[in-house]
Structure 1
Amino acid sequence: MFKHILVAVDFSPAWPLLKQRLESLSAWGAEQMTLIYVLSSRYPATPEETHRPYYEAKLAELISDLSSLGVNVDSRVLSGEPGAVLTETAQTLKADLLLMGCRGHNRLHEFFLGSTALDAARLTKCPLWLEPVAEDQISTDFDLLMLATDGSSLVAGAETLTGRLAPRFQRCMAVTAACASEGCEREIADAQSHLDKLAGCIEGLETKILNGDPRRVIVSEAKHEGADLIVIGKRGRNPIQEFVLGSSAEAISREAHCAVLIVPNTLG
């Protein structure tokens, strides 16, 4: 599954919640975790390079926190644009997963998702796990996995990974948003045909066609069903097209009450 997990660290009070997620993911066969702190070049208040030993020492403390997991843990302090540095490092280290915390529904949440997390989502070549770090949102349960698909080839990576993850959850559901109005019969039939095909590949898969804007109805259905993880595909064939602003993927990442796993369409 995720043998090498790269973790974005910002030394916020969210660390205990991210640690909980790492503890649960370690049971999936993780062998290596790499903690990364980026001295951002984006903001005037960026810590100076002379502060690097301080952050290295802080990371060493976090490594100690993870000693009971039985996996190899290392760390790095890097410099540059955080989103780009994190995704480049994940690719260089051949990480299977990039884990980042995202804030709750407030100005900081908008700021964070408008910068580092969305930059990472646009650029990542490996699955990106966005973990809500608000106390009222965190859940380390693996009860319901929800795949949001539009049936296109660009979400094939998300569908493939869902099949691999499904045995880890009590339930697995695939949803697609389609027009349910009169005259949309063909669209509905095509959507159902694709969902039926997925159900034939993933044992026990539940399927559902939702009526309305996917940016709204998928988040609403996930909350109604109590999903613990939403899996979505990252569309686009190049860094300019990928994860464009206003896309369903971005909206779901912003509004979801639970963790969101963004999967590139290049996943094998």
Structure 2
Amino acid sequence: MPQHYILSVDYSDGWSRMLEHLPAITALTGLTHLTLVHVVETFKRLHIEDTPQAAESHLKKLAAQLQQDQGIQVDYRVEQGFAASEIVDCAIRLDADGIIVLNRSHSAGREILRGNIAMNLVRMTRLPLLVVPMDGKVIEPDAVIMLATDGSPSARAAERRFGEFMQRGNHGLVVWVDDGEHIEDTTAQEALVTISGQFDNATAQRLKGEPARELVKAAAQENAALIIIGKRGTTPISDMLLGSTAATVARESHHPVLLVP
């Protein structure tokens, strides 16, 4: 399982909610190393609290607090530029296993219209991205892990990550959603049996409807600890307006979503 995550840190309203989720996320993922990254967006007018020096001072204190509270290694870095791209570049430079970001897309305000860091990372990430909803309940680490699959090659990496959770003993649910456009055949059932049949602690469910909506609904009904879903490529045209199933689930879910490119 991955051990080193990058945690996107900002000072916007509500970001401190991430600190409430972090103990459960640590327990769920088994992470042992966290690097806090704050990006000073130099194209914006900066207040004194937005300077690199102020950001570094804040991150130093936060890293010390988290290292003591979580019992894991915590480092920090301050970058400058466009937030999402700098976070992705930093994660690649540090050879991190994934990125964690707080999603506030359910909130009213300008961020829905102009996009936020989480949704930009959804478009751009080349690494697994854990999207934590700001207004979601703190997860129970032993709750069900839900895998969304459509049997396509882009789902393979997500299926492997699901298998890692199953091998750790988590309870799993494999979900396939028929969108009404596909001719009924045995593909879905075969895929569900193949994936869930590998593990005694996994079950399967086949749904029908609009995929993103049904996946979000199923996660709520199951009170899922995590939704795992594959993401096609890094910046495909279909993702530019967040039109893909994976991006829509990440935006709309009130449960954490792990996007696996």
C-alpha distance 110-13 of structure 1, shift in aligned 2 (>3 A):
closer
C-alpha distance 103-252 of structure 1, shift in aligned 2 (>3 A):
same
Shift of 1:97: 1.7
Shift of 1:18: 2.1
Name 1:224's counterpart in structure 2.
221
Name 1:240's counterpart in structure 2.
236
Shift of 1:199: 1.6
Q: Is the 8 A contact 1:235 1:242 kept in 2?
A: no
Q: Which deviations, in whole Å up to 9, do the C-alpha atoms of 1:115-174 show, x marking residues without a partner? A: 32222122222110011122x533243311111111100111111101112245642101
C-alpha distance 32-179 of structure 1, shift in aligned 2 (>3 A):
closer
Name 2:146's counterpart in structure 1.
146
3-state SS of 1:176 partner: strand
- Mapped to 2, the partners of 1:239 and 1:252 lie a distance apart of 17
Name 1:133's counterpart in structure 2.
134
Name 1:202's counterpart in structure 2.
199
Q: Which deviations, in whole Å up to 9, do the C-alpha atoms of 1:235-265 show, x marking residues without a partner? A: 13x533473431111211121111111001x
Shift of 1:2: 2.3
Q: How does 1:94-243 map to 2 (within 5 A)?
A: 94-103=95-104, 105-108=106-109, 111=112, 114-134=115-135, 137-168=137-168, 170-179=170-179, 184-186=183-185, 189-236=186-233, 239-241=235-237, 243=239
- Mapped to 2, the partners of 1:100 and 1:158 lie a distance apart of 18
Shift of 1:11: 2.7
Q: Is the 8 A contact 1:103 1:112 kept in 2?
A: no
- Mapped to 2, the partners of 1:92 and 1:102 lie a distance apart of 24
- Stretches of structure 2 that go unaligned for 5 or more consecutive residues are none
Q: TM-score scaled to structure 2, two decimals?
A: 0.88
Shift of 1:51: 1.7
- Mapped to 2, the partners of 1:184 and 1:65 lie a distance apart of 55
2:259 is equivalent to residue 258 of structure 1: no
RMSD: 2.6
Q: Report the residue type matching 1:184 in the other structure.
A: I
- Stretches of structure 1 that go unaligned for 5 or more consecutive residues are none
- Mapped to 1, the partners of 2:156 and 2:47 lie a distance apart of 41
Corresponding residue pairs, total: 258
Question: Percentage identity across aligned positions?
Answer: 31
Shift of 1:107: 2.2
